[in-house]
Amino acid sequence: MNVAIVGAGWAGMAAAVTATLAGHRAIVFEAARAVGGRARALNGTLPDGTPVVLDNGQHILIGAYTRTLELMRIVGADPATHLKRLPLDLRFADGKGLALPLWPSPLDALAGIATARGWTWGDRWSLLRASVGWQLAGFRCAPGTSVAHLCRTLSPTINATLIDPLCVSALNTPAERACGQVFLTVLRDSLFGGRGSSNLLLPTQDLGTLFPTTAAQWLVAHGGELRTGARVHDMQALPRESASTGTRWQVNGEVFDAVIWATSSSNAALALMESAQAAPETIANQLQTWAATAASLQFEAIATVYAHAAGATLPRPMVALRHSPDCPAQFVFDRGQLDSTQGLLAFVVSASEGDKDTLERQVLAQARSQLGLTLQAVQTVIEKRATFACTPALQRPPQAIAPGLWACGDYVAGAYPATLEGAIRSGISAAEQFNAFMRAST
Cα–Cα dist 381/63, whole Å: 26
pLDDT at 243: 44
Cα–Cα dist 272/289, whole Å: 10
pLDDT in tens, 208-220: 899 999 999 999 9
pLDDT in tens, 363-399: 999 999 999 999 999 999 999 999 999 999 999 999 9
In angstroms, how far apart are the furthest CA atoms of the chain? 72
The mean pLDDT of 225-242, rounded to a whole number, is 87
Length of the chain, in residues: 442
Residue 439 has pLDDT above 90, yes or no: no
- Looking at CATH, the fold of the domain delimited by 2-38+208-297+391-441 is given as FAD/NAD(P)-binding domain (3.50.50)
Picking from 35-49, 195-209, 238-252, 335-349, which range would have the lowest pLDDT averaged per residue?
Answer: 238-252
Cα–Cα dist 38/56, whole Å: 7
Picking from 22-31, 192-201, 342-351, which range would have the lowest pLDDT averaged per residue?
Answer: 192-201
Give the percent of the chain with pLDDT over 90.
87
Q: How confident is the model at residue 246 (pLDDT cuts 50, 70, 90)?
A: low
Residue 31 has pLDDT above 80, yes or no: yes
Give the percent of the chain with pLDDT over 70.
98
pLDDT at 242: 46
pLDDT at 107: 87
Q: What residues form DSSP beta bridges with 352?
A: 301
Residue 245 has pLDDT above 60, yes or no: no
Cα–Cα dist 26/23, whole Å: 9
Average pLDDT of every residue of the chain: 94
The mean pLDDT of 127-132, rounded to a whole number, is 95
Q: How confident is the model at residue 442 (pLDDT cuts 50, 70, 90)?
A: low
The mean pLDDT of 316-327, rounded to a whole number, is 96
The mean pLDDT of 292-321, rounded to a whole number, is 96
Q: Where are the domains of the chain?
A: 2-38+208-297+391-441, 88-198
